[in-house]
Amino acid sequence: METRKEKIGDKKALVGELIQLMEGVRGNVLKNGNARSLRELKVETNEEILGVNADKNIAQPGTYQIEVTQLAQKSSAMSSGFENPDESYVGVGFIQYFLPDGESKEIYVDSDNSNLNAIAKLINKDSENGLRASVVNDGSGSDSPWRIILSLEETGDEKRAEFPYFYFVDGENDLYLEFEREAHDAKVKLDGFEIELPENKASELIPGVTLDLKKAKPGEEFTLKISEDTQAITAKVEGLVDSINGVLGFIKQQNNMDETTDTSRTLGGDIMLQSLEGRLRSTVFKDIKTEFGFKRFSDLGIKFQRDGLLKVETEVLNNALSKDYKLVTQVLTGHYGEEGKTKGFIDHLGDTVKASLQFPNGLLQSRKNSLQSNIDQIDRRISNKERMIEQKEKNLKDKFARLEGTISRMKSQGSGIAALGGGGPNPVTQLG
C-alpha cells in the first residue's frame, strides 16, 4: 500500500506541475486580456533635451515638432561671503520676507543662532514657508567663501519672491544679499507655436503625454514621434505562445511512452491530458468575429508545427501589426460592437484556462482532488491495518503471558507431587 501510495503521489506531483504551467498561461492572459493592457507605445525624440512618458491608455500615435527655448527657474539669491559658517556672528535681529501670495513672515535670530548654519536651520525649520536655505562654499578660494543660498521651491513667473530683509545689530559680519535671480516660466514651441509653462514638466500639452524639459536649446527644433510599439506587442504574443507551448510540451513528454515506461508513476495516456490538449487546440482554431469578418489566431502567423507545438512567424505578425493594428488587436482581444463585446483569442484562452483550473471542479483540479482522495483512502487503510496489527500483537502477547503463567503453575504443582512420591523425577520435567 505504501508503494501504491508513492506512485499515486508521483502522479499528483505531475498534475501539480501541469497546474503551475496553466497558471503561467493564466498570468499571460491577465496581463494582456484587453486592448489597453496589450498595447505598448514607442517614443522617439531628442532625449538630451526632452524626456517623455506616454500613457498607453490615453496617448495616441502622432508626430510633433518641439523646440525648448527656455527652462523654468525658481527665485533664488546668494548672500555675502563669510570666513567660517559656524563662527561668523551677524548679531541679533530678525529676517523678514514675503511669499508670492503676499504673506509676510519674520524669523527672530538670537545670539545663540547668529551664524550662517544656524540661520539656515531657522529658515528651513518652517516647512510651510516655501523657502529653502543652503550654506555652501562658493569655491572661489577667497577669504570669505561661505554663503547662504535662498531659493523658492517652485518655479514660474507667478512664483517670484521678494527676498528677505535682514535687520541685525551688534554683528561682527554684515549679512546681505549680493546676487539675485528671478523666477520665470519655461517656454516651449509646439508645432511652431510658443507656449509658456510654470514648470519644467508639462502633462497637458499633448493628451496622455508628460514632457520633462531637460535642456533649453533655442533655435534647435526636433521631432517627437509616438507610435504603436509593434515589436513589444510581438514579444507579448510570443510570451503567450511560449506559455501555451509549456503545457503542450508537458503533455507531449508524458505521452511519449515505450516498453520501459512505468505508467503507474506518469500521466501517459491519461484521459485528462487528451482532454486538455483537445481544448487548447480547439481554442487556437476557434473563429473570431472582428469588424473585418471572421478570423483565426493562425491568421497572425501562429501555427502548429509537426512536433505539436505552436510557432510564431515573427515577420508575418510584425507585418500584420504594421499593416492593420486594429485588426490584430481585435483578433487577440475582441472588440465592442452593437451587440456588446465580442471575444478574441485571449478571451477564449482565458475561458479554457478557467475551465481547467477552477476550484474544485476544473479539469485539473478535479484530477488532483481525485488523486488526493486515493492517497487519503490508502492512508486510512494503512491506519486500519496498523491498528489491526497492534491489536494482533497485543492478543499474542496476552496469550504468551497466560501460557507462561500456566507453565509456571504446572512446574510448581509437579514439584509438590515429586515431594509426595519420595523424590522421584518431576513429571512436568519429563513432559518437558
Average pLDDT, stretch 349-378?
92
Is 343 strand, coil or helix?
Answer: coil
User: CA dihedral defined by 38, 39, 44, 45, rounded to 10 degrees?
Assistant: -110
pLDDT score of 432: 47
d(CA 245, CA 243): 5
246 membership: H or E segment, kind and range: helix 230-255
Tell the residue number behind the cell numbers 509438590, with chain if given: 416
Give the span between the Cα atoms of 327 and 228, in whole angstroms.
14
Mean confidence (pLDDT) of the chain: 88
Cα separation, 242 vs 213, in Å, equals 40
Task: List pLDDT tens digits, range 248-296.
Answer: 999 999 988 877 777 788 888 889 999 999 999 999 999 999 999 999 9
Nearest-5° Cα angle at 302, 297 to 306:
125
Which pLDDT band holds residue 162 (cuts at 50, 70, 90)?
A: low
- Amino acid at residue number 332: L
Q: What is the pLDDT of residues 33-79, one digit of tens each?
A: 888 899 999 999 999 999 999 999 899 999 999 999 999 988 888 98
Domain boundaries, the chain: 2-37+230-365, 41-71+186-228, 74-181
pLDDT greater than 80 at residue 104:
no
Helix (H) or strand (E) holding 64: strand 62-70
Beta-carbon count within 10 A of 233 CB? 21
427 prior amide bond cis, ω within 30: no
CA–CA distance, 382 with 4 (Å, rounded to integer): 11
- Cα 20 to Cα 360: distance, rounded to the nearest angstrom: 16
How large is the average pLDDT for residues 179-191? 90
Average pLDDT in the 399-422 region? 82
